[in-house]
Structure 1
Amino acid sequence: MLERYRNVKKASLFRRFLSGTIHVTVMILVLCIAYGGLTQKRIADNIVRLHIIANSDQAADQELKLKVRDAVLDHMRNELPGGASREEAVAYIQANLPEIQKVAERVLRENGSDEKVVARYGAYPFPTRSYGNITLPAGTYESVRIELGEAKGQNWWCVMFPPLCVADNNTFQIPPEAQEQLQETLGVEGYRLITDVSDAKNTEVQVKFRIVEWVQNSRLKLEELFSSLF
């Protein structure tokens, strides 16, 4: 009888321990999801991405993609006033999207291509990408999306605002003023998250970034699954 009582007590304690562990795990998971979503949204709310998709993976099409990149970045740098806010940049892009498309079309025509060009502005999924010392986590970002021809080639991703990617003889320079602008809008903590993640010794930032990355990648995969089902 005593042995049976002890077994029942042990089983009860185990169930309580298991229940507590599950509650703690769920709470941590909820906090991670909330942190990952809010952090990525804060980053996304302060930038505008640029996404160019080549007609194909053939060398000529890939070269055209880079020429379009250079022309579009030059156009934005010349037309958008220095020190403009994100809201001003978005307003300019939306009002002048046909002009941005014409810039890309002109590049193709000057290089003997009659492929179509489609320029769109909207919210699109992006994978994790690094630009110099800046790494942006996966997630949905507002962006200019330029599709060249069949748009079946490799992508080129960057940041249109702040102008982090400035093409110069096929290399990239990240202007200090653009980094300063991003730091001002994201704050010290947010800026550290996307710049210090490359430092393997900074465990705190590494863990925080991986949480954001995991949450966003999981969300994007679920969205892909639901879109394929419905």
Structure 2
Amino acid sequence: MHAVLHKDKSMFKKIAAAIIYTVLFVFLLLNCYAEKVNRDLSDSMIRLHIVANSNSTGDQALKYRVRDAVVGYMSEKAKELKNKGNAISFIRNNIREIEQVANSVLVKEGINEYATVSFGKYPFPSKRYGNIILPAGFYDALKIEIGEAKGENWWCVMFPPLCFTEDAKGELDEEYLNILKEELSDEEMKIIINDGEKEIPVEIKFKIVEIFQESKIKLTGLFRGLLAVE
């Protein structure tokens, strides 16, 4: 009897170990998939991120005035940007001028705050832009922080230029969709195209990317918070 119980216990441990290893393997596969999709998306576009000083009515209104000034400055330039490399070069060569445009709004309004502009990789939640929807993740972005930058955000896509489209729906035209198609796989294009006709497997893939990237963003924020405390 003792031998049988020992054998059953040993078999249970093997089954449990097999299940754990399988779950870990699937988890790693899904995480690798989510990372690849986010990396490819980030490599193909640049986001625009503006953070208000606070959530007061005045600061939120100021955020939109800064947005209008910056978008107005960049709208004509955007037409000359045919790929992400062009867009990055433009940002790096003009980042101080963009900062001046943002601060000119604050000066005009008599606001005793300062806007800082930076370019880097920042976390973004899932966002819908007309005919595309981007999963949460880390993206290259031009970031404008007004004052203490503790207010609600405004997001857009600088390249391809969704911020500067004349279409009120913010839809990408065929030219810029083709630019994305050159950078992304067919599967990745299906994930981000918002045509209301997503197949269930595509929706599942989008959700996988969203869940894993949102978890990564939260963990990154947690670690940064712990480091800040230390």
**TM-score interval for Structure 1 and Structure 2 normalised by the shorter chain:** 0.7 to 0.9
In structure 1, C-alpha distance between the alignment counterparts of 2:169 and 2:105, rounded to whole Å: 20
Which sections of structure 1, spanning at least 5 residues, go unmatched?
none
1:164 matched to 2:154 = no
Q: What is the CA-CA distance between 1:154 and the residue it aligns to?
A: 1.0
Match of 2:101 in 1: 103
- The one of 105, 113, 116 equivalent to 2:114 is 116
Q: What is the CA-CA distance between 1:72 and the residue it aligns to?
A: 1.6
Q: Rate the CA distance shift 1:65–1:179 in 2: closer, same or farther, 3 A.
A: farther
Which sections of structure 2, spanning at least 5 residues, go unmatched?
none
Work out whether residues 40 and 183 of structure 2, in 8 Å CA contact, stay in contact via their aligned partners in 1.
no
1:183 matched to 2:168 = no
1:66 matched to 2:64 = yes
Work out whether residues 197 and 209 of structure 1, in 8 Å CA contact, stay in contact via their aligned partners in 2.
no
Partner SS, residue 96 of structure 1: helix
Q: What is the CA-CA distance between 1:197 and the residue it aligns to?
A: 8.8
Q: Which runs of structure 2 are paired with 1:78-89 in the superposition (5 Å)?
A: 78-89=76-87
Work out whether residues 129 and 170 of structure 2, in 8 Å CA contact, stay in contact via their aligned partners in 1.
no
In structure 2, C-alpha distance between the alignment counterparts of 1:198 and 1:112, rounded to whole Å: 45
Q: What is the CA-CA distance between 1:217 and the residue it aligns to?
A: 1.8
Aligned-partner residue type, residue 102 of structure 1? Q
Match of 2:55 in 1: 57
1:203 matched to 2:214 = no
In structure 1, C-alpha distance between the alignment counterparts of 2:166 and 2:78, rounded to whole Å: 18
Q: What is the CA-CA distance between 1:114 and the residue it aligns to?
A: 4.0
Q: What is the CA-CA distance between 1:49 and the residue it aligns to?
A: 0.8
In structure 2, C-alpha distance between the alignment counterparts of 1:149 and 1:172, rounded to whole Å: 30
Q: What is the CA-CA distance between 1:145 and the residue it aligns to?
A: 0.8
In structure 2, C-alpha distance between the alignment counterparts of 1:7 and 1:116, rounded to whole Å: 73
| Bigger Cα displacement from structure 2, 155-164 vs 180-189 | 180-189
TM-score normalised by L of structure 2: 0.87
Q: What is the CA-CA distance between 1:172 and the residue it aligns to?
A: 4.5
Aligned-partner residue type, residue 139 of structure 1? G
Aligned-partner residue type, residue 117 of structure 2? A
| CA shift digits 1:37-89 (9 cap, x unpaired) | 11101101111111101122222221221122122222222124435210111
Q: Rate the CA distance shift 1:215–1:175 in 2: closer, same or farther, 3 A.
A: closer
| Bigger Cα displacement from structure 2, 16-25 vs 6-15 | 6-15
In structure 2, C-alpha distance between the alignment counterparts of 1:147 and 1:113, rounded to whole Å: 14
Q: What is the CA-CA distance between 1:195 and the residue it aligns to?
A: 1.8
Partner SS, residue 123 of structure 1: strand
Aligned length: 226
Identity of aligned residues (%): 38
In structure 1, C-alpha distance between the alignment counterparts of 2:109 and 2:91, rounded to whole Å: 25
Partner SS, residue 185 of structure 2: helix
Q: What is the CA-CA distance between 1:175 and the residue it aligns to?
A: 3.5
Q: What is the CA-CA distance between 1:122 and the residue it aligns to?
A: 1.2
